[in-house]
Homo-oligomer: A and B are copies of this chain.
Amino acid sequence: MKAAILGFGTVGSGVWKVLHENKDRVEKAVGEPVMVTRVLDLRDFPGHPVEPSLVKSFEEIEDDPQIDIVIECMGGIHPSYEYVSSALEKGKAVVTSNKELVASCGAKLMEIAYQHQTDFLFEASVGGGIPILNTLRLGLVQEKIDSIEGILNGTTNYILTRMEKEGLPYEQILKDAQALGYAERNPEADVMGYDACRKIAILASMISGKTVRYEDIPTEGITEVSLQDIEEARKDGKRIRLVAKAALTEDGVTASVRPERIREDHPLAGVQGVFNAVLIHGNMVGDIMLEGQGAGKEATASAVVSDVIYALKQRRNGLYEPVCWTEQICPVNA
């Protein structure tokens, strides 16, 4: 099977690494070797083994009938959307780590994928390396999931847990986090809750089988959380965490992102530093918590590769099964 990677930055080069270092496992799981034959990036990587595969234009990928799967790791909406939709229209499978793309255009892309009966998968777009979507689609497929809540942003959890432990104010920890590379120079997407909002929009759509627009989710970040708030919560046996939530209701689904006071013995209260976690509630199994690295090159790439394996296995076996999200495609859900 032949794969193309779009974007050879952190995630893209991580995918290359995982596909090479865990080649045996990937080959065994898919049933045949997986080769990356094209990598789209405007930069050159002289001397890197990726060099002979580098291409500068997407046409060389979409027009190559040998490419079975396109792995989108560029981020942003344009030209990701155009490339992904075009690859799907050519009948290629697509895997992405791009939460903005999925939260903004997921429904449309899933419809295109459905029309062409090919996979569009996005495990790495939520919770980095944690197999959350996989667990919803496979391990807990028998469950009616009625709610999901999680710590879906590592930067803000890093800041809150350090404020709590060290008693230092928000601004100071943020500066440290920026120096250490845990926060962007413009930290808005993380600290205002926008990143967590896109991720919970994806999860809310998956558990409800309906497209939840991220613009409709009330979102509050951590910029107003003071040391005093943290101290007051502590006195009540509680901790403050940026919690992203989605729950089914009689009318559909609700979702929110905001700092919440949770009890010290709540499973999410123990999630430290840049780790992410989700608590999934199913009608039979009760609470299941998944925790792991929510970001990072190898962890995110690992999640991408799990989707690549799934999609290529389905392709080899001539099978296709849509992700439940849009009511048209997947009406029986929840």
Q: Which residues of B contact A141 (CB under 8 A)?
A: 25, 29, 306, 309
Q: Which residues of B contact A302 (CB under 8 A)?
A: 140, 142-143, 282, 284-285
Q: Which residues of B contact A22 (CB under 8 A)?
A: 142-144, 283-284
Cα separation A286 to B274 with both chains bound (whole Å): 13
Q: Which residues of B contact A284 (CB under 8 A)?
A: 17-18, 21-22, 129, 298-299, 301-302, 305
A293 at the interface (CB under 8 A from B): yes
- Residue interface mask A251-291, B partner, CB < 8 A = 1: 00000000000000101011010000100001111111111
Within the complex, the shortest CB–CB distance from A19 to chain B, in Å, comes to 9
A142 touches B285 (CB 8 A): no
Cα separation A78 to B21 with both chains bound (whole Å): 44
Neighbour of A289 across the interface among B134, B142, B289, CB < 8 A: B289
- Name the interface residues of A121-151: CB closer than 8 Å to any CB of B: 129-131, 134-135, 138-144
B287 touches A25 (CB 8 A): no
Within the complex, the shortest CB–CB distance from A13 to chain B, in Å, comes to 13
Closest to A306 in B: B142
Interface size of A by CB at 8 A reads 55
Closest to A139 in B: B131
A293 touches B286 (CB 8 A): yes
Closest to A273 in B: B265
A24 at the interface (CB under 8 A from B): yes
Q: Which residues of B contact A25 (CB under 8 A)?
A: 141-144, 332
Q: Which residues of B contact A299 (CB under 8 A)?
A: 284-286
Closest to A334 in B: B25
A292 at the interface (CB under 8 A from B): yes
Within the complex, the shortest CB–CB distance from A123 to chain B, in Å, comes to 8
Cα separation A309 to B309 with both chains bound (whole Å): 20
**With A270-B267, A288-B291 as given contacts, are A131 and B142 in contact (CB-CB < 8 Å)?**
no
A317 at the interface (CB under 8 A from B): yes
A196 at the interface (CB under 8 A from B): no
B286 touches A131 (CB 8 A): no
Q: Which residues of B contact A333 (CB under 8 A)?
A: 28
Q: Which residues of B contact A29 (CB under 8 A)?
A: 141-142
Within the complex, the shortest CB–CB distance from A199 to chain B, in Å, comes to 17
A189 at the interface (CB under 8 A from B): no
Chain A residues within CB distance 8 Å of chain B = 17-18, 21-22, 24-29, 129-131, 134-135, 138-144, 265, 267, 269-270, 272, 277, 282-293, 296, 298-299, 301-303, 305-306, 308-310, 317, 319, 332-333
Other A-B contacts than A24-B332, A129-B284, 8 sampled, CB-CB below 8 A, are: A21-B284, A22-B284, A129-B286, A129-B288, A130-B288, A138-B138, A277-B289, A287-B293
Going nearest first, the 6 A-B pairs with the smallest beta carbon separation are: A131-B139, A270-B270, A134-B139, A129-B285, A288-B292, A285-B302
